Amino acid sequence: MRQSQLFTKTRREAPKDEVAKNAQLLIRAGFIHKEMAGVYSFLPLGLRTLNKVVDAIRQEMNAIGGQELVMTALQDKTLWERTDRWDDEKVDNWFKTSLKAGGETGLGITHEEPLTRIMSEYVSSYRDLPLMAYQFQNKFRNEMRAKSGIMRGREFLMKDLYSFARTDEENQKQYDAARAAYIKTFDRLGLGAVTYPTFASGGIFSEFSEEFQTISDAGEDIIYVHEGKHIAVNKEVYTDEALAKLGLKREELVEKKAIEVGNIFHLGTRFSEALGLAYKDEAGASQPVVMGSYGIGPSRVMGTIVEVLADEKGIVWPESVAPFAVHLVELSNGNADVKAEAEELYRDLTSSGVEVLFDDRDARAGEKFADSDLMGIPLRVVVSEKTLAAGKCECVHRRSGKTEHKTNTELIESVRPERRHGR
């Protein structure tokens, strides 16, 4: 895409009311727009990035047999009354509203209830199980405070996977598959090294759950990390009893601040019993379905990547989620040959399937470089009088700052999508 055509522009200053680094940088770089506190629109660059995060997660959910569907924001209150999660005294972050046709509805805070009902219409026999289904859907949570940018919004995108099994053992197999898929997912998203499966409270569902916690000073959670085992324990369950159960010793653990980027739960039969999701076993007896739930917030992941990888110049995207693979910067300074060379390279990269943001604007080099650093595209390729004379373009890696000089053919060969995905 030509940057001259992109409607967003970068800004020097972050909005004064934004305290979160992720929101400051993403707004300055033109990736998101704040509608209200905790409510952000995703502008073209931001949507491209969010879609990359979504696609990576989707591939891993499909790989473990997840079937994608999409449920609704508007919720049938009768369902939530049956699981005792409608009452504001029990669940305190509903957005509720009235139907003109009569009655009350609320905006989905999560989707165990509606999916359990859907499954109750399709699952009747042991032959129908096990299965897993997931969606990408906006959740709405009426948070009292919203100061973490896109890491904790009042309206945010969630990937929620749910598993349905005949027995606890079968449920455990699904849980293990989802857990392994989560580890792969955070690896792909460039957060694997700093993201720890973390023992945490199971809340109302079970004794324990596992969170995926990414080390960051912007985190709201305190965790205790075991580097060797690459696992951690959330402060909320950091007791002698829990540590003994997990075979961990206090002296081996290090306290860190972290961001919760995912959470996986055993749900048992809490929802299936309340909502009548049962199957007939091989002997013809009715049994409740054993469930699990597995969440990752793609927008929160995107914010976390900014928090963790950004440097003093701006955002640094991993290749897997960058809005473009290459930021082609033309410094023609009115030189028609340089302009023609840059245009040709843009055409050649694009026709090789490489996603390129082409800075074809009539602007100074300093401005173009500052914008490029702020936006965080992994590879900047400069075409100027100097590079034209040398016969090689200048390639600067955003993350390492490493500079290489390559002919156009060498460059295209190194960034072709087949090559990047093949690694």
Q: Applying CB under 8 A, which of residues 19, 59, 63, 67 lies at the interface with a copy of itself?
A: 67
Contact with a copy of itself (CB under 8 A) among 19, 59, 72, 389: 72
Stretch that binds a copy of itself, among 113-121, 273-281, 310-318, 408-416 (CB under 8 A): 113-121
- Applying CB under 8 A, among 133, 258, 354, 383 the residue interacting with a copy of itself is 133
Q: Which is nearer to a copy of itself, 140 or 317 (CB)?
A: 140
* 55 binds a copy of itself per the rule CB under 8 A: no
CB 97 within 8 A of CB 108: no
Q: Yes or no: say if 26 and 45 are a contact pair by the CB < 8 Å rule.
A: no
Instruction: Return the residue of 96, 245, 386, 397 that touches a copy of itself, per CB under 8 A.
Output: 96
Q: How far apart are CA 154 and CA 139, in angstroms?
A: 8
Do residues 18 and 28 touch, judged by C-beta distance below 8 A?
Answer: no
> How many residues bind to a copy of itself according to rule CB under 8 A?
58
Q: Between 236 and 355, whose beta carbon lies closer to a copy of itself?
A: 355
Q: Is 403 in the site for a copy of itself (CB under 8 A)?
A: no
Q: Is 40 in the site for a copy of itself (CB under 8 A)?
A: yes
13 near a copy of itself, judged by CB under 8 A = no
Q: Would you count residue 128 as binding a copy of itself (CB under 8 A)?
A: yes
The residue (of 99 and 247) whose beta carbon lies closer to a copy of itself is 99
Whole-angstrom CA distances from 381 to 16, 188, 387 are: 33, 24, 10
Q: Do the beta carbons of residue 76 and residue 114 sit within 8 Å?
A: yes
Q: Which of 189, 194, 97 is nearest to 140 (CA)?
A: 97
CB of 39 to a copy of itself, least distance (A): 5
Q: Does 355 bind a copy of itself (CB under 8 A)?
A: no
CB 255 within 8 A of CB 208: no
**Given the structure tokens 């976390």, which residue do they identify?**
304
Task: Give whichever of 67 and 407 is closer to a copy of itself, judged by the CB atom.
Answer: 67
Phi-psi region of 104 (alpha: psi -120 to 50; beta: other; left: phi over 0): beta
Question: Which span sits near a copy of itself by CB under 8 A: 130-138, 167-175, 249-257, 267-275?
Answer: 130-138
* CB burial of residue 82 (10 Å; 0-12, 13-18, 19+): middle
Q: What is the per-residue DSSP string for 261-300?
A: EEEEEEEETHHHHHHT-EEE-TTS-EEEPEEEEEEE-HHH
Question: What is the contact surface with a copy of itself in residues (CB under 8 A)?
Answer: 5-9, 30, 33, 35-37, 39-44, 46-47, 65, 67-76, 92-93, 95-101, 105, 107, 114, 118-119, 121-123, 128, 131, 133, 138, 140, 142-146, 154-155
